[in-house]
Amino acid sequence: MQSQTLIHYLERTAPLHLAASWDRSGVQIASQLSEIHTLCVALDPTESTVRRAVQAGADFLLCHHPLSLRPDLPRRVDSLYQVLRLCLSHDVWLYSAHTSLDANPHGPVNWLADVLGLVNRQVLEVTQRENATLMRVHGADLIQERLAAHFGPEQMRVHGTMLELVLWPEELARVRTLLGDAGAGLAHEEILLAAPARAFGFGCIGELPAALPFEEFVAALKPYFSVQPRLIGTAPAVVRNVAYCPGSGADLAGRAFALGADVYLTGDVKFHQAQDMMDAGLIMDVGHFCLEEEMMRVWSMRLAQDLASDAVQVVFLDGRDPFAQA
C-alpha cells in the first residue's frame, strides 16, 4: 500500500480536523518509503517501542501519543534523539493519532462502550457537529454503478434518471470527485439536512442494557485494568449509567454526573479535582494507560482485517504501564 494511501485511510478514523488546537496529531517523522508492507501499532512512541518496531521490520509506526507536544531540537542524546535516529536511519514513518482519534466516537475510542453494550450513547464534551447533505444527481444512470460500489441502498435511492444520496461531509467530497471524473452533463444539487446529524468530541456516556450491582460491574471491567482503580466518592449500590474518558479526563467528571452517570471512569485525577468531585458521584481512576492501550489494540485488529487485502501486515506492540506492579 502506498504510504499516502495509508495515511488517508488512517485519517478516515482519526480526522485531523477533529484534533484539539493544542495537539500535534499527524505525521511526526516522514520517510522516503512510498510502499508500506508492515504497519506497527502502539500507544507510545518511546525509544523501546521504536526499537521493537524496527526489529519487526516496520515501514510505518502508528502511535496514539505524539512524539512531543511542543517543537524541540535533538540537542541532547536523550529519548527524543534516539527515536529520531532510529526512525531516520531505518526510514520508518512515525504517525500520531492522538486527539484526532479521541474525538471520533465512531472509532475505537469507544471500545469500552462496545464491550459493555452501552445504549443511548452521548458525547460528554461536544467539540464539533456535522449534518448530512442530500445530493440529487441528474442523469445518474451514467454513474450509478460506480456509486453503488461505495454506498449501500440505505444511502442511495433511484428515481428514474435521478439519484438521491444522503452523504456525510467526507463522503460528499468523494462523490464530488466522482462526478468530476465522470465529465460534464451530470447536473446535481445539494441540500444541507437538519437530520441526520452527528456529534464529535471527548468522552462517552451511555446506559447498560440492564442495571448491575456495583460488584458485578467492577468484575466485568477487571480484565481491562492493569492497576487497582482508585475510587473517589461513594460507590452506588447499582450501576446503570456509565461514563468514561480515556487518558486524562478528570475535567469532564462534572459533566458526566450532570448527565446522570452512576460511575465515571478516567485517569490522572489530581488531588483537588478529587476533592471537588467526591460528593458528586463515584469516579474510578483506572490510570492513563489501560483504556488507551486497549483502544490501540482494538484499532490494530480492525486495521489487520481491513488492510489484509492490501498485503499490509499489522503488528501490535504491547505497551507498559509505568504504575503497574511488577
What pLDDT score was predicted for residue 141?
66
What pLDDT score was predicted for residue 264?
98
Rg (Cα) of the chain, in Å, rounded? 22
Domain covering 108-127+201-290, topology: 3.40.1390
> pTM higher than 0.85 for the full model?
yes
What pLDDT score was predicted for residue 222?
92
pLDDT tens sequence across 62-87: 999 999 998 889 999 999 999 999 99
User: Among residues 242, 241, 224, which one has the least CA distance to residue 287?
Assistant: 224
pLDDT tens sequence across 15-62: 999 999 999 999 999 999 999 999 999 999 999 999 999 999 999 999
Give ∠ CA 94-100-102 in degrees, rounded to 5.
110
Q: What percent of the chain has pLDDT over 70?
A: 97
What pLDDT score was predicted for residue 140?
64
What mean pLDDT is predicted for residues 94-108?
98
Would the CATH topology of 108-127+201-290 be identical to that of 128-198?
A: no
Domain 128-198, architecture per CATH:
2-Layer Sandwich (3.30)
What pLDDT score was predicted for residue 142?
63
What mean pLDDT is predicted for residues 118-124?
98
What pLDDT score was predicted for residue 44?
98
What pLDDT score was predicted for residue 185?
55
Instruction: Supply the DSSP string of 85-106, one letter for each residue.
Output: HHHHHHT-EEEE-SHHHHT-TT
- In 139-187, which ranges are E strands? 156-159, 162-167
Q: Which CATH number fits domain 3-100+292-316: 1.20.950.20, 3.40.50.300, 3.40.1390.30, 3.30.70.250?
A: 3.40.1390.30
Q: How far apart are the first and last CA of the chain?
A: 40
* Segment holding 285, helix H or strand E: strand 282-285
What mean pLDDT is predicted for residues 166-195?
81
Biggest CA pair distance of the chain: 68
In whole numbers, what is the pLDDT of the chain averaged over residues?
A: 93
Band (pLDDT 50/70/90 cuts) for residue 324 is: confident
Strand pairing partners for 197?
A: 131
What mean pLDDT is predicted for residues 308-320?
96
Would you say residue 243 has pLDDT above 90?
yes
Give ∠ CA 55-61-66 in degrees, rounded to 5.
125
How do the domains of the chain map onto residue ranges?
A: 3-100+292-316, 108-127+201-290, 128-198
Band (pLDDT 50/70/90 cuts) for residue 157 is: confident
Would you say residue 212 has pLDDT above 80?
yes
What pLDDT score was predicted for residue 325?
63
Span of 154-158, 196-200, 229-233 with lowest mean pLDDT: 154-158
